[in-house]
Structure 1
Amino acid sequence: MLALTNQERAKAGCGPLRTNSALIRAAQAHASDMVAKHYFAHDSLDGRSPFDRMKAAGFAGGAMAENIAVGYSSPSAVVTGWMNSPGHRANILNCTYSMIGIGYDSGQVKPDWGNGSWVQDFGG
Structure 2
Amino acid sequence: MARQHLLYFIVGLQRKTAVILILLLSISSVLFFVTPLYGQSRKNVTAEELINLTNQSRADFNLAPLYQNFQLTQAAKNKANDLIKKNYFSHNSPDGKTFSQWVKEVDYQYAIVGENLAMGFSSSEAVVKAWLKSAQHRQNILNPRYNQIGIYVKKGKLEDQNTFVVVQYFGAPYPPIMILSENLLFYQRNNRQNYPVAV
Q: Bin the TM-score by the shorter chain.
A: over 0.9
Supply the AA of the counterpart residue of 1:78. Answer: V
- In 2, Cα distance between the equivalents of 1:109 and 1:101? 21
> Partner of 2:90 in structure 1?
41
* Contact kept? 1:70, 1:116, Cα under 8 Å: yes
Following superposition, the deviation at residue 93 of structure 1 comes to 0.3
Bigger CA radius of gyration = 2
1:25 and 2:25 are equivalent in the alignment: no
Matches for 1:37-76 after TM superposition, within 5 Å: 37-76=86-125
Of 152, 161, 168, 1:120 maps to 168
RMSD between aligned residues: 1.1
Higher relative contact order (CA 8 A, sep 6+): 1
- In 2, Cα distance between the equivalents of 1:73 and 1:102? 16
TM-score by length of 2: 0.60
TM-score by length of 1: 0.94
* Contact kept? 1:61, 1:123, Cα under 8 Å: yes
Following superposition, the deviation at residue 44 of structure 1 comes to 2.0
Supply the AA of the counterpart residue of 2:164. Answer: G
Following superposition, the deviation at residue 104 of structure 1 comes to 1.0
Give the count of matched residue pairs.
123
1:48-107 deviation digits (Å, cap 9, x = unpaired): 211111011121121000000111112111111101111100100001000011011111
- In 1, Cα distance between the equivalents of 2:53 and 2:138? 13
- Unaligned 5+ runs, structure 2: 1-49, 173-199
Matches for 1:71-110 after TM superposition, within 5 Å: 71-110=120-159
Identity %: 39
The SS at the match of 1:27 is helix
- In 1, Cα distance between the equivalents of 2:163 and 2:134? 20
- In 1, Cα distance between the equivalents of 2:77 and 2:123? 16
Following superposition, the deviation at residue 45 of structure 1 comes to 2.6
- Unaligned 5+ runs, structure 1: none
Q: Which has the higher strand share?
A: 1
* Contact kept? 1:32, 1:117, Cα under 8 Å: no
Runs of 4+ in 1 over 3 A off after TM superposition: none
